[in-house]
Structure 1
């Protein structure tokens, strides 16, 4: 199964990183803690989607847990801005997506694209 001619795990991680950056840079009225909470939820939801369409599930689940954890640590463990939370999360997602991609395969590799 491919999405836009690419592996779904990479597409989902890219969309998740983009949404995380959008939340971090797009809303001036959010505090760093609020942005981190939203980014953590985005990371967890998109990791669950990746885990649902890839096998084995463990690498995808770990990726989401790590990304959400880093986002929360950046906001609640350190005194950083919401832009830094988004940037850190985007980098973490990019690195973990590249690591995860080599360890997972689509759950139904014979399924046609678009199904």
Structure 2
């Protein structure tokens, strides 16, 4: 399965990184805490979908957990700006996607089997 000619995992992680970029540019009227929560939740959801679509699941699940966790810590653990929250999310997603991509492959749906003797 391909989305825009690319593997779904790459598209999902790019979408999460773009969301982080939008937040870091201050395009939204969200506060830093709201932006951090939104980015963390979306990163976690998209990461969960991506993990379900890859084998083995562990590298992609790790990427999603670290990206969402780093964003949440940036938003709630430290007094940082909305721009910093988005930048941290974008950086973590980009680095982890590049590091874990070689360790995962898209899972393919099981091909239907033909009955024997046909």
Aligned residues: 110
Any idea what the Cα deviations from partners look like across 1:22-47, whole Å, max 9, x if unmatched?
2442223x221111100100110110
For structure 2, the 5+ residue unaligned runs are: 112-118
What is the distance in 2 between the residues matched to 1:2 and 1:93? 20
For structure 1, the 5+ residue unaligned runs are: none
Per the normalisation by structure 2, the TM-score is: 0.84
Please say which structure displays the higher CA radius of gyration: 2
Are residue 84 (structure 1) and residue 84 (structure 2) matched?
Answer: yes
Shift of 1:109: 7.5
SS of 2:103 mapped into structure 1 = coil
Does the CA contact (< 8 Å) of 1:10 and 1:98 recur in 2? Answer: no
Question: RMSD between aligned alpha carbons?
Answer: 1.7
Match of 2:16 in 1: 16
Higher relative contact order (CA 8 A, sep 6+): 1
